[in-house]
Structure 1
Amino acid sequence: MAISDTRESVRMAMETLRGNKLRSGLTILGVVIGVATVIAISSIINGVNNKFQTFVDSLGTNVIWVFHMPVINVRPTAAMLARKKLTFDDADAIRKLPHVVAVDPSQQYQDFALGVGSVAVKYGSKKIQHTTLQGDSPSYSKVQDVELREGRVFNQMDEDRAADVVVLGYDTADTLFGNTDPLGKEVEINGDLFTVIGVLGKAKQPFGSGKNPQDNIAIFPLVTFRKIHREVQDVWISVKYDDPANKSIVEEEIRSLLRARRRVRVEQPDNFAIFSPDSISRLWSQITSGLVIFMIAVSSVGLMVGGVGVMNIMLVSVTERTKEIGVRKAIGATKRNIMVQFTVEAITLCALGGVLGITTGALITLAVRLAMGAALPASMSTLWAVIGFTVSLAIGLVFGIYPAWKAANLDPIEALRYE
């Protein structure tokens, strides 16, 4: 068909839509709601994903964690809890592997009888409760990419002499000292005095902007920690390796080493767990995939309702314009001309709905971003905007075909007689 005929069909379609603004607006309402839902939910998911990835990145680069049982997306069984613990000798053996840069064996004390980390740290008349106590090796700062607000992290000399020094978390120091310089001050923990040598920067957290439990922590040299809590047996080993490209090699070397050290038979599964920030990212992807399915389901309802509305109004339009169709055919319009006119009209309706839906979704995204701030940094996705607009065009095409076909196949003589 000639381009001029197509342009004429588009012009007539636009004139028809402008002549029935209210009806056209009500017709595309479902499409607007469907596309706006896609944009709004995808923007929230995109923002949450970006914030979560920032949190995962803050856990350290090129890091692998080793523990005697899995702790991500697994409910520990009795057999897992009864496994042999990892040891400091295991950490020393891992440290000798070729691509390993640093290894940090660590332990934590958490008073489960009173609640996680229910330990009071005191300075003068001030105290803070629910503090987690943690012991780390001098490699702690190398492995964990530590950010210090002030001071320093303990070194090998502190470890060798079991120095009574401590690095406090951001909230721990802020509660105890306020605007006072904490460095060199002594805090009381479990009846013993420890000199503050450093304060950590604020820890990243995946969501929310309130207090982060990771900011209420007291970290000691490992030997010092074992003086005050020798009963703690669990050892968590963090491994820093040289190059992201060597991740799988390092994991396999650690697996082979530990299987040999723990005398695991060939046919038996590992009796320990190796995981990395990628493990957390994969778990998060599984969670957000459910949100994506929910988004598609909700938006599909709106788009289907909009599609049915478009088909209904187009059938009404065909009936109302039967005589017009007869006149057009009488002066030479072909079936294809009529088909294109009504199909373009349906697609144009849905395209307009798509644009309004994207605009509405963008406004919702902006409102969420302004209302929630850093807690939920909604971010509009160009990909989902394109998908939403494309789907709206597809809805117009699919639901506009039958009314267009019906109009194109009207008998011109009967159409001219129609009143």
Structure 2
Amino acid sequence: MKATTPAGRGAGFTPPDFGGSRFLRYRDLMRVGFREVVRKRRRYIGVVAAIALGTAGLIIVVTMGRDLKKNFNNDLDILGGATIINAHFEFFPMEKPEWFRDYTIKALSEIPGASVVANTVLQVDVETTWHDRSHKFSILGVDQNYWSIFGFTPALGRLFDASDIRAGARVCVLGAELARLICGTEQEAMGSTLTIDGNLYTVIGILGGVRAGDRGRIAFLPLSTALARINGISKPYNAYIRCSSWDDVDQVAERIPAVVAANQTSQGLVLYVSWEALKHVKRVYWWVTLFIYMSIGATIVLGGFGIWNIMMAAVTARTREIGLKKAMGAEDADILLQFLFEALSVTVTASILGVILGRAGVEYMGMLIGSSPPEGLFLLCLILGLIFAVVLGLGSGLLPSIRASRMQVVDAMRYE
């Protein structure tokens, strides 16, 4: 019996097959699209590089942003002490002076966002004799955290540590100017013995660091030693709290009075915060971050426009090919999907390269700043990067694909 054809259909009509056996299956379309990109790879090098570098930069900035911010906070010479809070007890006439107890210092160090807490005591106008010459200077008793709060390093020798504090060691660190004033040179001061308030102290280091200039005429003693051996030295009424990040300064400063009041009286407590310096640092960081993100975004968007431009040119150049495929039975959807898959092949390939470069950059940055990259955040960036690549491919390839799919067979076949 002769087969009949539905009304309105030509003799060559093939009923749609929803099982997937169309003229070109999706798998074939993807293979053809990817193969076409590989064949014309030279024209895509620029946009692939732009999208890959943009993706890598975004991954590095997002993944390592927090660690980089912490590293900037550690460099207090750059921030100008913007993340340091000075908690101070003021003296009032006819009232007993207040000072920080050890358990209060411990409680302050446990405030979320507080990185390091240091306690200090001060004594002015002490005297020492060196080669029959008397010299007056000030003494500052500090703990081991004091050095890291202000970014001090030893110009010579070493700075005393927690073991010296626990032992009450009779050692001292001299400011560079004081070392030259007493001993002539910093090298000669190293290892010398000074008599301070009737006790002998060995000079184990010379204070160094960019911020050491304003402390050049001070001798530093271990806090426990100063409290035990220096007559008339002050109680530890001064404490310094360095915050983990400038974002933590507000909440740490807000919690300090309550923490102090929970452990001892807080009468006379005053906080000194460099609010103007903090605002300046935040403003500069915000603009720098905005510039970085805008640069990365512009790079990726330009890559998308590059794909759009190349795909539009490809549609024009392959007009006869499109007409031939349609004449052989390809539907509009087949042409549309093929060109979309070509755009997706470019963006996904670029995104994968960007992820690889981003991972290498994250590892390198982690090595530079001594930090391990957060794996969870990197994985999130990887997933978002791939999703964005798909969106970018669809967005940049959709219009050229629609244009190609809507071509008329006769006009396309006759195109010159």
TM-score for both structures, normalised by structure 2: 0.58
Residues 1:344 and 2:341 aligned together: yes
- Distance in 2 separating the partners of 1:272 and 1:32: 52
Distance 1:261 1:396, change over 3 A: same
1:225-277 Cα distance to aligned partner (Å, 9 max, x none):
6758x7xx9941369xxxxxxx9987525358999734xxxxxxxx72299xx
Q: Over aligned residue pairs, what C-alpha RMSD do you find?
A: 5.8
Q: Secondary structure at the match of 1:89?
A: coil
Q: 1:153 aligns with which of 137, 159, 165?
A: 165
Report the Cα distance in structure 1 between the residues aligned to 2:415 and 2:148, rounded to whole angstroms. 80
Inter-CA distance 68–212: structure 2 relative to 1 (3 Å threshold): closer
Note if 1:305 corresponds to 2:302: yes
**In the alignment, residue 99 of structure 2 is paired with which amino acid?**
A
Find out whether 1:29 has 2:60 as its counterpart.
no
Deviation per residue, 1:349-401 (Å, 9 max, x gap): 1122223333444555667678xx45x76959724444444433322221111
Within 5 Å, give how 1:8-407 maps onto structure 2. Answer: 8-42=28-62, 45=65, 47-49=67-69, 51=71, 67-68=87-88, 89-91=97-99, 106-107=120-121, 133-136=139-142, 140=143, 152-153=164-165, 165-168=170-173, 186-187=193-194, 195-196=200-201, 213=212, 218-220=220-222, 221-222=226-227, 227=232, 235-237=237-239, 251-255=257-261, 261-262=267-268, 272-273=270-271, 290-362=287-359, 373=368, 382=378, 383-407=380-404
1:411 aligned partner: 408
Counterpart-to-counterpart distance in 2, 1:54 and 1:236: 21
Whether the 8 Å CA contact 1:167–1:197 is kept in 2: the answer is yes
Contact persistence 2:99–2:238 (CA under 8 A): no
Shift of 1:193: 7.1
Structure 2 vs 1, CA of residues 96 and 393 (structure 1 numbering), >3 Å: closer, same or farther?
Answer: closer
- Residue 417 of structure 1 deviates from its aligned partner by 2.3
- Residues 329 and 412 of structure 1 are in contact (CA less than 8 Å); yes or no, is this contact kept in structure 2? yes
3-state secondary structure, aligned to 1:90: coil
Query: Gaps (5+ residues) in structure 2?
Result: 1-17, 77-83, 111-116, 132-136, 150-158, 180-185, 242-251
CA contact (8 A) 1:31 1:303 kept: yes
- Stretch deviating more after TM superposition (217-226 or 297-306): 217-226
Residue matched to 2:10 = none
Q: Distance in 1 between matches of 2:238 and 2:291?
A: 37
Distance 1:98 1:347, change over 3 A: closer
Distance 1:361 1:300 in 2: 15
The verdict on how the C-alpha distance between 1:253 and 1:11 changes in structure 2, with shifts beyond 3 A counting, is closer
Q: CA deviation at 1:336?
A: 2.2
Q: How far apart, in 2, do the equivalents of 1:316 and 1:197 lie?
A: 80
Contact 1:251 1:274 in 2 (8 A): no
**Letter aligned with residue 302 of structure 1:** T
Cα deviation for residue 411 of structure 1 reads 2.0
Measure the CA separation in 2 of the matches of 1:351 and 1:50. Answer: 33
Determine which structure has more spread, i.e. the larger CA radius of gyration.
2
Report the AA paired with residue 270 of structure 2: F
Tell me if structure 1 keeps the 8 A contact 2:104–2:263: no
Give distance in 1, aligned partners of 2:303 and 2:330: 30
* Deviation readout 1:202-227 (Å, 9 max, x if unpaired): 99xxxxxx888599972251475675
Structure 1 residues without counterparts, runs of 5 or longer: 57-63, 70-82, 112-118, 125-130, 159-164, 204-209, 240-246, 263-270
TM-score (norm 1): 0.58
The residue matched to 2:239 in structure 1 has which SS? strand
Residues in 2 aligned to 1:29 and 1:324: alpha-carbon distance in whole angstroms? 29
- How has the CA–CA distance of structure 1 residues 368 and 101 changed in structure 2, closer, same or farther, with 3 Å as cutoff? closer
Letter in 2 for 1:272: V
Structure 2 CA distance for partners of 1:96 and 1:411, relative to 1, 3 Å: closer
Answer whether contact 1:152 1:198 (CA < 8 A) is retained: no
Q: Distance in 2 between matches of 1:101 and 1:323?
A: 74
Structure 2 vs 1, CA of residues 396 and 281 (structure 1 numbering), >3 Å: closer, same or farther?
farther
Pair 108,297 (structure 1): closer, same or farther in 2 beyond 3 Å: farther
Higher relative contact order (CA 8 A, sep 6+): 1
3-state SS of the aligned residue for 2:296? Answer: helix
CA contact (8 A) 2:123 2:232 kept: no
Whole-angstrom CA distance in 1 between matches of 2:146 and 2:353: 50
Post-superposition CA distance 1:111-161 (Å, at most 9, x none): 9xxxxxxx999999xxxxxx994225xxx57999999669632679x9xxx
Is the Cα contact below 8 Å between 2:194 and 2:202 reproduced in 1? no
